[in-house]
Amino acid sequence: MTFFRRINAIGLSSFLAVILAPELCRACACGCGVFDVGTSSMFPEGEGGTLYLEYDYQDQTHNWSGSSRAPAANNDDKEIRTHFVTVGLEYMFNRQWGMQLEVPYENRYFKTSGGASGNDIVSLNWGDLGDIRVKGIYTGFSDDLSTGVTFGFKLPTGSYTFNDAFNDVDRDTEIGTGSTDVLLGGYHRQNLTSDFRWNWFAQGELDLPALTRNDYRPGIELDAAAGIYYSGWRLGNVKISPVAQVIGSERTRDTGSAASNPVASGYQRILLSPGIELHLHPMMLYADVELPVYEHVTGNQVVAPALFKLVVSFQF
């Protein structure tokens, strides 16, 4: 679950740096935190736990500059394809307090210009543990647990030193950030109709890097989602809930001497996401696709035309 993201307009100096820089940019826009919003099925409903396995996927193949597609030749990076597999545990000790633990593993394929000549097409594939997230949950604002806040840390457990002999992998392309981040979030859900079939929700998370390594500070990231779902359909004992949501995402520029290209990092985007939830207690299946309808990136960055999410969970 995730809330808030600090909006940071592109400054005049950054704008001029992008316009005047004659060289090609090497940059990507991963935005992995966007996968932590939009799962209404993961909201706490009472004491007990939920064990879940989440799979996320994105294939960044389109070069983007500003708010429109740009020639691929303007970016050394050509493709970044990532499979995210996360094992998670959410446990409510009582109706007020709980915790959440997420342990991710990521496999990444990276295609870029580099190598011995600097212009060779280089393809790299590697996988490793990602950055573990540990959060507390407080839901004591109302008896129905409709409002909650989350707070915790993203730990620097992910690899951030993988590279080849020619240093073709930049810090913003690594699986881990090398930083310890503060996570602050929240959510709210509410019935829209008296029969409890139509409901809406909003949630989001602020990811604020606090402790960094090797003079690289990733950008501040904010992801938020608002959606509506219908819970009046059944097929036998299976409850079927279609979900429609809007997801907003913002990341400020990376900073520090190890940031490969600070004038080509940071973005804002809005995604529309249709999804579906199947619930056969104690099992639940949630799936959605997230489609960008607005993107604005600083410099040249490769972005994904669609993002995919699948969550299988078990309540106990």
Residues 287/275, Cβ–Cβ less than 8 Å: yes
Provide the pLDDT confidence category of residue 4 given band limits of 50, 70 and 90.
Answer: very low
Average pLDDT over every residue of 223-244: 95
Does 192 have pLDDT greater than 70? Answer: yes
Structural contact between residues 2 and 33, judged by C-beta atoms closer than 8 angstroms: yes
Percent of the chain with pLDDT over 90: 80
**Does the pLDDT of residue 27 top 70, yes or no?**
no
pLDDT, tens digit, 9 for 90 and up, residues 69-108:
999 999 999 999 999 999 999 999 999 999 999 999 999 9
Average pLDDT in the chain:
89
Q: Work out the average pLDDT over 213-217.
A: 94
pLDDT tens for each residue of 46-73: 899 999 999 999 999 999 999 999 999 9
The CATH architecture that domain 12-315 belongs to is Beta Barrel (2.40)
- Which position has the higher pLDDT, 260 or 138? 138
Q: What is the pLDDT of residues 284-301, one digit of tens each?
A: 999 999 999 999 999 999
Contacts of 300 (CB under 8 A, 6+ apart): 24, 25, 27, 63, 64, 65, 70, 74, 75, 264
Q: Once rounded to an integer, what is the mean pLDDT over residues 223-238?
A: 94
Q: How many CA atoms lie within 13 A of 86 on its CB side?
A: 29
Pairing of strands 307-315, 48-60: antiparallel
Lookup: tokens for 2: 């995730």
- How is the chain split into domains, by residue range? 12-315
Cα-Cα end-to-end distance for the chain: 19
Percent over 70 (pLDDT), the chain: 89
Around 59, how many Cα atoms within 13 Å sit in the side-chain half-sphere?
Answer: 2
Which region, left, alpha or beta, applies to residue 196 given φ > 0 means left and ψ of -120 to 50 means alpha? left
